[in-house]
Structures are given as structure tokens and as C-alpha cells.
Structure 1
Amino acid sequence: MELCAGGSLVLIDCGSGARNFGRDLHAFPPRPFDLLFTHTHLDHICGLPFFTPAYDGRFEISAWAGHFASEGGLADIICRIMSPPIFPVAAKSLKAVTFRNFKAGADIPRDDDLVIRTVKLNHPGGACGYRFELKGKSICIITDHEHGDKKIDEGVRRFVEGADVMIYDAMYTDEEYKQFVGWGHSTWQKAVELALDANVKTPVLFHHDPRRDDDALDEIGEAARARHPGTLVASEGMVLSP
């Protein structure tokens, strides 16, 4: 995901779409930006070895993760996937990237007007949600997250309160979820319920089950909008503007 806020650029996670996005970035003058990881499961980091700005020293990329207990967590994980026999190019070749860790719940330090807050999520191995605030507008990214932990759920509820946009893990339906308790994902019904309870203007259903086709997602979108008229179903290439 790409976030443009004022003059700031922030990327959230680095899946397979990072390859094409990196190519697009080279069409503009190099600039510093942050890369925030919600967590480091393979589908969220597999694009970094193919993200060409990371190899270009003219860029300055601060890569952040907030779900590790150890200081070396993020760098260690990237080194593991970028080493033989998994990948032929070593992580030390990522000349533009500086790896940084924080503890979920802390704000990301910045020198501009964009505020980035974080919250702990419930996902195997840990995960972190983000809230971005600028000039009275706010967007929250809550993925990958499984509802059901009372303490974490209460923290997420406070975290997303009053947000203009909430991008939320909606991989399952409530009926499907019974088979996948503990897998680290939530349901579209919980997304809508949270949005209504926390006065979120636009909930965006995200992280769809890969087996679900467009027709099924259209049906979910209709059912969700019947409960919360502002609900959107995320799609590749979707652009949201304030």
C-alpha cells in the first residue's frame, strides 16, 4: 500500500506489487520515504528483494517493524530470505535501506507534520497496526489481525475511533471463521461492527481470502453496505482521496 500525505510518501508492507511500484518510483526524482511492515510473513515481505529503489543509494528508505522482541528482528528476517540458496543477492546489497525497530504502541518519530501511531494486533508471530493523521484527516490500517483477544480488541477499538478510513482484515465470513480460529484473520462482519462502534466513516474490507472471486466479493460488499453504507471492498489499484 502507498500512502501520500502532504509531501510525504509512506509504503505499508512490501508484497509482490512492490516490483512494479519500484519501477514507477524511478520515473521521479529519488526521495526519502518510510517502509512500514505490519509483520514479516512472506506474503508481506516477498517484494523487497525485487524492489529496485532499495538497491539505489540515491533513495533513503527507513524500514520499520514493531512486533519483534529483539533489536535485530527486521534486519535478521530480511537477511534470512535474501541468502543462498533462497535468493542469490544478499541483503547488504539493499544500499538505500536502513532497518529500524520499535515497540507496537509507540509513535514513529518524524520531522514533518504527519503523525504515525501504532497498535499491537493479534496475529501468529505478532503484528502491528498503523494510524496516520494529517490536517484533521486519519486513516488506519488493521491487518493482519484476528478478533477475540479482549485486551487487544479494546486497544484496537480505541485506536480506530473516529477514523476517516479504516482498512481492516476481512479474510473470512463469520461462518467460515469457525474453521480458522487461531489463523490470525478476522471477518467482514467484525470489520463493519467495529466501524459502527468506533464511528469510522469508511471501512475498507481488505486481505480477502484468495479463493474468493469477484462475484463473491461483490456479494460481501452489498451485505456490508446494508449495515454500514460507507463500506468499500479493497481491490488492486484502488485509490482513495480525502
Structure 2
Amino acid sequence: METIPSSDFFIQFWGVRGSIPTPGKDTVRYGGNTSCIEMHVGGKRLIFDGGTGLRVLGKSLLKQGPVEAHMFFTHYHWDHIQGVPFFTPAFREGNCFHIHGALPADASSMKQHFCERVLHSNSPVPLEGMHADLNFYELICGETFKLDDITIETRPLNHPNGAMGYRVTWQGHSVFYCTDTEHLPDRLDENVLHLAREAEVLIYDAMYTDEEYSNPKSPKYGWGHSTWQEGVKVAQAAGVKRLAVFHHEPNHSDDFLDNVAIQVQEACPGAFLAHEGMIVSVV
């Protein structure tokens, strides 16, 4: 595990894989847990998505005192909620979690959606077992809101059933969490460009290479994910300082991703591939 920086604004990656967990000897260096990142921002803890990486984050939080955190969901596909029933701090009295996300059209409230869909009938632990203080907040995609001195902007992303991008800004420094999204065929996505503008870090869904995305034998059009080459285009057009390639394809081994990392860094100096445990200072 990397050393926690003294910075007041940093990111820690707990799950960087897309679609399905991929444990095994070929995914040791980058990790096989699905989407979960943590931001420490001006004294607040922000958690984005609840893939299986959330379980690992939860284990680390057990070493601390009472925990308060804001949790944000981009959407509710399996790989972004699988870790929630195994997030041990939510079962401990004295902890407090503020849960934010867009409300699906067929749900009456965020709490009802969370109980019935995220903690659904297949969950091994019922909601009654969660003794932490849980507070629920419905977000309207496209709106901007504040957590004290932190500004959070949202915009819709191009993904089946929808997804929401989050731009977090504190003291003039910004991080854009941009997953899951598919680039447009004829231009850069205006929503993505807007939230990426001059960000310190862009965490981008680069699940495929261009060759995989356009492979005539197995094209990935309409699957809701992008490529690292498109991520480079966005980063350069929006004046992003560092591009983080994220949401790695389940079949991409460590060796494959090492080769991608070389190509990404050649195309976009300062860019990097996210891996589990990685900590990135923003300020």
C-alpha cells in the first residue's frame, strides 16, 4: 500500500476493473476489484461507486475511529454496487454515511431504491443489519451542488440506462470522475468536455483500445465504454493535467496493461493507468 500523503486533496483507487471482478495471477499488479475510488477533500471523505473495491476500502476504515463519508453512485450496474453488502463500516454503530445518486424513474425514493435494488433480495445481509447512520439524497443529473467549500458538478454520460459524471472542485483544483461512458462517433462529448475543463485529474473509462472497439469481428459499439485513445483526445482538448486510465477490461492482463501504459504515456505525457492502492495527490 502506498503512503498516505499530507495533501488536503488526494485520490485513492480501491477498485479499477470494469464489468466483473477478475481475481487471479494475471491481474495482481493492476487489481481485479470493480469500481471504487476515494477522495479526501478538505477534511471530507468522498467515496465514488460501490464495486468490490468498496469491501477493501471498508477493511481499511475499520482501523479508524467513527467514520463519516459521502458516497456517490454514477449508476447502479452490478460492477458499481457489488461491494455495498460487504462494506463492513456500514454495519457498525457510530459511523455515518451520506448516500447520493440519481433516482431511477421507477423508484419512489433513494432509500427505497437502495434497500430494494442495491441491497436487493440476493444480498446476504438485510438493511436491518446496517447499524450506521444512513442518510439518502436524490441528485438531479446536470445540477451543481456544494458540500461546504467543495463544489460538485454533474452531467449525464453516454451509457446504457444512463450514468452520471462527477467533477469535484476544491480551492480551484478539480478532479473529474468519468465512468461509464462511450465516446460519440463524430465529435467529443460536450458533457465530458465541460466537466473535464482544465482538471488536475481526469479519471476516464478507457475500457478498450481503438482496435478492440472497432474490431469488425467483435465491435464494441453501443456497449457504453470508451478507449484510451479517446481519453487522450478529451484530456488534450480540455487542458487536463493528468489522465488516469480506468475501468480496465476484464480480459486485459497485467502484461497487456503494461503495454497500454507505455502507449498512453507516449501519447499523453503525465498520463497513467490506475491500479489498486494507487494514491494520487491533486494539490
> What's the C-alpha RMSD, in Å, of the aligned pairs?
2.0
Percent identity, aligned pairs only, is 39
Residue matched to 1:100: 137
C-alpha displacement at 1:64, in angstroms? Answer: 0.9
Q: TM-score, normalised by structure 1?
A: 0.92
Q: Tell me by how many angstroms 1:79 deviates.
A: 1.9
1:135-172 deviation per Cα after TM superposition (whole angstroms, max 9, x unaligned):
22111100000111779911211111100100000001
Which blocks of at least 5 consecutive residues in structure 2 are unaligned?
A: 1-36
Q: What is aligned with 2:78?
A: 42
- Does the 8 A contact of 1:168 with 1:204 survive in 2? yes
Alignment check: 8 A CA contact 1:68 1:74 kept: no
> Comparing 118-127 with 15-24, which one deviates more in the overlay?
15-24
1:177, 1:46 → 2: CA distance? 26
Residues 8-157 of structure 1: pairs in structure 2 closer than 5 A: 8-66=44-102, 68-69=104-105, 70-72=107-109, 75-84=112-121, 86-95=122-131, 96-110=133-147, 112-148=148-184, 153-157=189-193
Matched, 1:240 2:280: yes
> Cα deviation per residue 1:179-198 (whole Å; 9 max; x = unaligned)?
11111100000000100011
Asked whether the equivalents of residues 38 and 143 of structure 1 are also in contact (C-alpha less than 8 Å), the reply is yes
Counterpart in 2 of 1:158?
Answer: 194
Uncovered stretches (5+) of structure 1, i.e. residues with no partner: none
Secondary structure of 2:281 counterpart: coil
Work out the CA distance in 2 between the residues paired with 1:149 and 1:189.
Answer: 13
CA distance in 1, matches of 2:145, 2:130: 22
Mapped partners of 1:75, 1:149: distance in 2: 37
Answer 1 or 2: which has greater helix percent.
1
Deviations 1:30-82 (A, max 9, x none): 13210001111111101111111112231111111126335425642542353
Check 1:40–1:74 CA distance in 2 against 1; reply closer, same or farther (3 A cut). Answer: farther
What displacement does 1:89 show?
2.4
Within the candidate set 202, 206, 220, 1:180 is matched to: 220
- Flag the structure with more relative contact order, 1 or 2, with Cα contacts below 8 A and sequence separation at least 6: 2
How far apart, in 2, do the equivalents of 1:128 and 1:147 lie?
A: 14
Matched-pair contact (CA < 8 Å) for 1:82–1:91: yes
Cα distance in 1, alignment partners of residues 140 and 84 from structure 2: 22
Q: Secondary structure in 2 aligned to 1:87?
A: coil
Aligned residues between the structures:
240
For 1:121, give the aligned amino acid: L
**Within 1, Cα distance between the matches of 2:80 and 2:120?**
18
Q: Cα deviations across residues 84-126 of structure 1 (Å, max 9, x unaligned)?
A: 4x1342224334222221111112442x211111111111111
- Equivalent pair of 1:120/1:152 in contact (CA under 8 Å): no
- For 2:17, the equivalent position in structure 1 comes to none
* Residues 1:48 and 1:92: Cα distance change in structure 2 (over 3 Å): same
Structure 1 CA distance for aligned equivalents of residues 264 and 208 of structure 2: 13
2:251: which partner in 1? 211
CA distance in 2, matches of 1:30, 1:133: 26
2:190 aligned counterpart, secondary structure: helix
Structure 1's 57 and 152: CA in aligned 2 closer, same or farther, altered over 3 A?
Answer: farther
Residue identity matched to 2:192: V
Question: Please, which moves more after superposition, 30-39 or 191-200?
Answer: 30-39
The runs of 4+ residues in structure 1 deviating greater than 4 Å are: 149-152
CA contact (8 A) 1:121 1:152 kept: no
